[in-house]
Structure 1
Amino acid sequence: MRTLVIIPTYNERENIGPIVGRVRVSVPDADILIVDDDSPDGTGEIADALAATDAQIHVMHRAGKDGLGAAYRDGMRWALDVGFDRIVEMDADGSHRPEQLPSLLAALRDEDGGPGADVALGSRWVAGGDVVNWPAHRRLLSRGGSLYSRAALGIPARDVTGGYRAFTAEALRSIHFDDVESQGYCFQIDMLRRAYRAGLAVAEVPITFVEREHGASKMTGAIVAEAMLRVTGWGITGLPQRLRRHPAPVEVSGSAQRA
């Protein structure tokens, strides 16, 4: 099973080296694709230097800051073209702990198509999940966004907006991710909405989300507004589909995690 971890970057020079190192230790067999949006702080050059010393690190340079969704779409397209079997979304800032990646991957189907999920969500809001160093308003925004999306779209997952996820290659093909136009906060909602619409099996794996120590958050009011508008629109146009009952996501207990 070939695994690729996609890490989008924009001005993450202080974070990219440590996060890549932790991924390589946690999942030594995995490859890493850094998708850099022409970071003015030199993140792309640091990524190139990392790739020059490790054949399992790859770098994609994009012309400018075009949004998280576009970066993931380009990375996913490359992953499928190259032939990876499992594709992971991960932030560069350390908020997604690489040490929990083995648990996320373990929740996916194996290469023989045996029991397991098509999509594994790193979930902050299931038993065993947690958030560290977040102010109250960020917790409210995240939990409120998930609750509103669940209600509007009929999605049973508890963490709808989280960005730490693993997909099988077949799941990505089923989702038709190239058609996803959403960016930022809303990209994750759109991908999960499509996964349920495609009838995919979704598992929620508890994670501990840790607020970044270096750099600035990319969350903006425009990103939140896009999510609210799109989710509301999908909720209205998708009322017939909401009458169908989606299979509930499988929660993986915290005790089953590997450190």
Structure 2
Amino acid sequence: MTGSRVLVVVPTYDEVDNLEPVLDRLHAAVPDAHALVVDDGSPDGTGELAEELAAQDERVHVLRRTEKAGLGPAYVAGFRWGRARDYDVLVEMDADGSHDPEQLPALLAALDGADLALGSRYVPGGRVEDWPRRRLLLSRLGNVYTRRALRLPLADATGGFRAVRGDLVDRLPFDEVASQGYCFQVDWAWRAWRAGARVVEVPITFSERASGRSKMTSSIVVEALARVTGWGLQDRLADRLPGRVPPPVPGRVRDGGRSSEVR
């Protein structure tokens, strides 16, 4: 989206070793993009480092929160901050180096014909590097279950590298999005698709974090499984209500300008 004001929202918790290199790569890849670091009270000094970087670069901004409230609330706070300041495009990107900032231009370009561009590991051209087989299997199975339970025609609904038009953010009821872990990504992608948004998947390479420990826990996985199951059951029960408009039929979803059948 040429000429758009782009804000990359970067949630952090104990990412002091990764933050500066990631922001340097971001600004090398997309020099005009601004970054908002949303720090949830990191005890390792990430928030202080973010403020130092912001003092040196007008493209870096900081939103500091007092407690670790989860990924979902951090992104919602970042979206609200960005829209209040008239950013046209909002981007989700991890602070740990697992998302390549060099691939952001492809996501932004995809918005020329879409409302939401998802960085996808599981469409042709996408891949995962340096993950143990068990975690890769869990991710793939989770996405298959999500696709079938929610009738959501996306190969990678759980991915967290995505770009969205600001007007779509304004239309979605983020106050109702209660998910805290990566299930947040499923939650609002599903809401966007059901609202009729144009959603595309763009192939990306996902890598293991550069340093530090993963924030993935068993409780996050359990939350995702429970919520997706509940949403799927409610959606099917709602199909039986009089006057119910059926959901869109899973069909063709573009990936990086190509079309592929997603079942």
TM over 0.5: yes
* CA drift at 1:178: 2.6
Decide which moves more: 140-149 or 175-184. Answer: 175-184
Q: Which deviations, in whole Å up to 9, do the C-alpha atoms of 1:13-50 show, x marking residues without a partner?
A: 00000001000110001100000011000000110010
Report the equivalent of 2:18.
15
Q: CA distance change for structure 1 residues 242 and 215 in 2, over 3 Å: closer, same or farther?
A: farther
Whichever residue aligns with residue 47 of structure 2, its letter is G
Tell me which residue corresponds to 2:179.
182
The Cα of 1:213 is off from its aligned counterpart by 2.5
Identical aligned pairs, as a percentage?
A: 54
Pick from 149, 152, 155 the counterpart of residue 149 of structure 2: 152
Is 1:162 matched up with 2:165? no
Residue 177 of structure 1 and its aligned partner are, at CA, apart by: 1.9
Instruction: Kindly indicate whether the alpha-carbon contact (under 8 Å) linking 1:127 and 1:253 is maintained by their aligned counterparts in 2.
Output: no
CA contact (8 A) 1:153 1:242 kept: no
How far did residue 242 of structure 1 move? Answer: 6.0
Hey, what does 2:84 align to over in structure 1?
A: 81
- Is 2:201 aligned against 1:204? yes
- The unaligned stretches of length 5 or more in structure 2 are 240-244, 259-263
Kept in 2: contact 1:206–1:253 (CA 8 A)? no
Q: Would you say 1:250 and 2:247 are equivalent positions? A: no
Residue 99 of structure 2 corresponds to 96
* Alpha-carbon offset, residue 253 of structure 1: 5.5
Extract unaligned runs of 5+ from structure 1: 110-115, 255-259
CA distance in 1, matches of 2:72, 2:170: 16
Question: Aligned equivalents of 1:194 and 1:217: distance in 2?
Answer: 27
Is structure 2 residue 57 aligned with structure 1 residue 54?
yes
TM-score with structure 2 length normalisation?
0.92
Q: Which among 230, 240, 251 is matched to residue 233 of structure 1? A: 230
Aligned length: 248
TM-score by length of 1: 0.93
- Once the two structures are superposed, residues 216-245 of structure 1 have per-residue CA deviations (whole angstroms, 9 ceiling, x without a partner) of 100000000000000000000011266541
1:7–1:89: 8 Å Cα contact kept in structure 2?
A: yes
